[in-house]
């Protein structure tokens, strides 16, 4: 993976860069030595090598069992207990995997629940599950989050109606705190197989624990390669500033922020990265948005959004910078077919691959946006496989922690998330509110 800053050249000076380099090195040292704010939640730092190997083997086994005996698997969880698996699935799987059918895709369909309180969404899911063999992976670190807890009640009832209580229990897997929380208690009572979210790993940093790994193993994704990619990144992100892209990305975005660029738009020209950007939005938004500070993380999928947000990015308020996730190699070599008559005027593109055309769009968009005073950072990913994704996850996690420290906040807490819950519970007359 590489960082390309051609689109930044005239937005920063050498002096700004060298000042920020020194600061970045200092806060990175604090992070690595466990001296920064929230140090008790930095277990993710060495997770790619220091994970529970026995549990990892159980994850692989449970994944194989689900893959074998299920046409569909429903992952229940929200925020950090959802976005990593969703992002990885979308990044790695066939773009229409759920529609392919198990015979072709060799994997169960994957669905997500407990990500909202919508009756129609959850009823729709129940409709889809009708007459399928299926399993549940229930994820909640605290074990008490309302949205997934409600979805679990609904889906558990359906599963038990279909298989009976004892057989259903063998199709339910729970991922939660090692000791506390309602989900831990319930799982022990009902006899579900359980996996642990380590105490020192917060929700949005948990994709490389069972939270991300079990759903992915259940649909046949190579989680060993994912961990290997993360371990490679862990090694590379220990390098000094000049060779360390996590430090560089964190430093660059803070230089831009200090110059009034308070919104970062993460863009990609590949729809398989839509949820990777959603995961990134949670990671950076929840880590940095506090104490009236923070870069607002937004995202866009091009070229689709060039036809909606493009005008704003080109000519709207100049407080934005853009980070493009660029995929070097794609799997398909689809080309523009030849036509007898050039009625649509596409003759000049005949025989060209879509990837080549997409590349030209990427180039053209960067130049246009840089001309429009939108600084551009490019993150180049060699290809969409598990190894590269593991690398990318770890890169973003480390960059996020460094960036939060540069901003002067604790990147590992989320005090603001409670406000809506208090209001909602009061309105619902939850005891104690």
> Alpha-carbon distance 289 to 116, whole Å?
22
Closer to ligand PA5 by Cβ: residue 251 or 407: 407
DSSP string, 92-154: HS-TTHHHH-HHHHSS-EEEEESSS--HHHHHHHHHHHTT--EEEEEE-SSS--HHHHHHHHH
Span 403-422, contacts to ligand PA5 by CB under 6 A: 414
Specify the residue for token string 């060298």: 18
Q: Which stretch binds ligand PA5 (CB under 6 A): 15-23, 44-52, 197-205, 366-374?
A: 197-205
Nearest in space to 180 (alpha carbons), one of 148, 220, 228, 141: 141
42 binds ligand PA5 (CB under 6 A): no
Closest CA to 66 of 161, 150, 144, 172: 172
- H-run or E-run covering 89: helix 83-92
Query: According to CB under 6 A, which residues from 129 to 148 bind ligand PA5?
Result: 140-142, 145, 148
Q: Positive or negative, the Cα torsion across 344, 347, 349, 353?
A: positive
| Cβ pair 78, 286 in contact under 8 A | no
Under rule CB under 6 A, residue 194 binds ligand PA5:
no
State yes or no: is 397 an active-site residue.
no
109: β partners: 72
Sign of CA pseudo-dihedral 317, 318, 323, 324: positive
- Is residue 226 within 8 A of residue 390, CB to CB? The reply is yes
- 78 lies in the binding site for ligand PA5 (CB under 6 A): yes
Stretch in the footprint of ligand PA5 (CB under 6 A) among 45-53, 72-80, 212-220, 270-278: 72-80
Stretch that binds ligand PA5, among 58-66, 166-174, 196-204, 257-265 (CB under 6 A): 196-204
Q: Is the dihedral of CA 93, 96, 98, 102 positive or negative?
A: negative
Using CB under 6 A as the binding rule, whether residue 370 contacts ligand PA5 is answered as no
Q: Which is nearer to ligand PA5, 184 or 378 (CB)?
A: 184
Instruction: Tell me whether residue 5 or residue 150 sits nearer to ligand PA5 (CB atom).
Output: 150
For ligand PA5, the closer of residues 202 and 390 by Cβ is 202
Query: Within 267-326, which residues bind ligand PA5 (CB under 6 A)?
Result: 286
Structure tokens at 126: 């129940």
Catalytic residue among 286, 288, 322, 397: 286
303 cis-preceded (ω within 30 degrees of 0): yes
Interaction with ligand PA5 in 373-402: which residues (CB under 6 A)? Answer: none
Q: Which helix (H) or strand (E) holds 284?
A: helix 274-288
Is 341 considered catalytic here? no
Q: Judged by CB, which is closer to ligand PA5: 80, or 294?
A: 80
Question: Has 383 been annotated as catalytic?
Answer: no
Closest approach of Cβ 416 to ligand PA5, in Å?
Answer: 11
**Cβ distance to ligand PA5 smaller for residue 137 or 362:** 137
Mask of contacts with ligand PA5, 200-219, x by CB under 6 A? --xxx---------------
Provide the minimum distance between the beta carbon of 203 and ligand PA5 in the complex, in angstroms, as a whole number: 2
- Residue 214: name the closest of 174, 260, 273, 157 by CA: 174
Output 36 or 411, the one with its CB closest to ligand PA5.
411
- Catalytic entry in 54, 307, 418, 429: 307
- The count of residues interacting with ligand PA5 (CB under 6 A) is 14
The nearest distance, CB 208 to ligand PA5, in angstroms, is: 14
Sheet architecture: strand order including 296-301: 2-4, 376-383, 320-329, 263-268, 296-301
Residues that bind ligand PA5 (CB under 6 A): 78-81, 140-142, 145, 148, 202-204, 286, 414
Catalytic residue numbers read 286, 307, 421
């Amino acid at each position: 993976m590489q960082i390309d800053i051609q689109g930044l050249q005239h937005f920063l000076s050498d002096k700004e860069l060298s000042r920020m380099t020194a600061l970045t090195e200092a806060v990175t040292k604090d992070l690595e030595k466990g001296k920064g704010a929230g140090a008790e939640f930095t277990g993710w730092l060495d997770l790619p090598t220091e994970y529970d190997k026995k549990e990892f083997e159980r994850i692989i086994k449970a994944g194989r069992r689900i893959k074998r005996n299920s046409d569909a698997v429903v992952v229940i969880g929200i925020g950090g207990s959802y976005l990593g698996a969703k992002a990885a699935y979308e990044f790695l799987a066939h773009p229409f995997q759920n529609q392919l059918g198990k015979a072709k895709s060799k994997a169960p369909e994957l669905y997500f629940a407990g990500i909202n309180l919508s009756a129609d969404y959850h009823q729709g899911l129940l409709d889809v599950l009708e007459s399928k063999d299926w399993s549940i992976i229930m994820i909640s670190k605290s074990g008490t989050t309302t949205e997934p807890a409600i979805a679990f009640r609904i889906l558990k009832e359906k599963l038990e109606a279909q298989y009976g209580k004892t057989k259903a229990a063998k199709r339910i897997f729970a991922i939660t705190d090692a000791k506390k929380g309602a989900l831990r208690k319930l799982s022990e009572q009902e006899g579900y197989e359980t996996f642990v979210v380590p105490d020192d790993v917060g929700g949005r940093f948990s994709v490389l624990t069972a939270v991300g790994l079990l759903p992915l193993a259940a649909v046949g994704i190579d989680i060993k390669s994912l961990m290997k990619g993360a371990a490679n990144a862990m090694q590379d992100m220990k390098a000094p500033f000049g060779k360390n892209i996590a430090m560089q990305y964190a430093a660059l975005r803070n230089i831009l922020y200090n110059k009034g660029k308070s919104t970062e738009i993460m863009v990609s020209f590949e729809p398989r990265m839509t949820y990777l950007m959603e995961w990134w939005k949670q990671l950076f938004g929840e880590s940095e948005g506090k104490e009236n500070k923070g870069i607002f993380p937004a995202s866009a999928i091009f070229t689709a959004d060039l036809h909606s947000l493009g005008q704003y990015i080109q000519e709207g308020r100049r407080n934005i910078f853009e980070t493009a996730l660029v995929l070097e190699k794609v799997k398909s070599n689809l080309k523009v077919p030849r036509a007898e008559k050039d009625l649509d005027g596409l003759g000049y593109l005949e025989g060209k691959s879509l990837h080549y055309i997409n590349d030209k769009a990427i180039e053209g968009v960067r130049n246009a946006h840089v001309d429009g005073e939108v600084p551009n950072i490019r993150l180049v990913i060699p290809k969409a496989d598990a190894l590269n994704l593991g690398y990318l996850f770890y890169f973003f996690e480390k960059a996020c922690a460094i960036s939060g420290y540069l901003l002067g906040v604790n990147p590992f807490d989320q005090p603001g998330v409670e406000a809506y819950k208090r209001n909602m519970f009061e309105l619902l007359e939850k005891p104690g509110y």
